[in-house]
Structure 1
């Protein structure tokens, strides 16, 4: 159940961060509300996750996967530059999450 909650927390954080791009510095109401709601849901679900998953592991997965997802969304959908260095960074973040799961999540 913990990993299901963590997946929801990651999705809410990614949605909130993506909406923040469209909020124009919190001057547009709808994307601003999506941003605030996304972060509230993300932190609530992350807090629930911590009942069953160690804080270091949960937070690292949440932050790492969220960062990789936002980087990918930026490159694929928002026209951000794609480079070998950025792609390598995303791969390293994902590798780090895999290693955390293999070494400390159980």
Structure 2
């Protein structure tokens, strides 16, 4: 499935509607402790970086599945939103417009 952050994909299409993919991930206690220590000295917290990467991929997959269930060929104007829930959870939403190419 074509996923684009732009509206123009070089094809004429019919809009089918909005599609979303949502996931919430958390790190385990050991990772959170390591992140707390890293926070004192600075630098990248690789466990959280991996968690965000995994969350984005899962959100895209869920959004794609919803678009496929509507009969879409592509998703245009795709965006991400993310936010923290508590101190150790991250929620990621992928959303866009499902379209059927003519």
TM over 0.5, yes or no?
Answer: no
TM-score range, shorter chain: 0.3 to 0.5
User: Greater relative contact order (Cα 8 A, min sep 6): structure 1 or 2?
Assistant: 2
Structure (1/2) with the larger strand percentage: 2
> How high is the TM-score relative to the length of structure 1?
0.32
Bigger Cα Rg: 2
Structure (1/2) with the larger helix percentage: 1
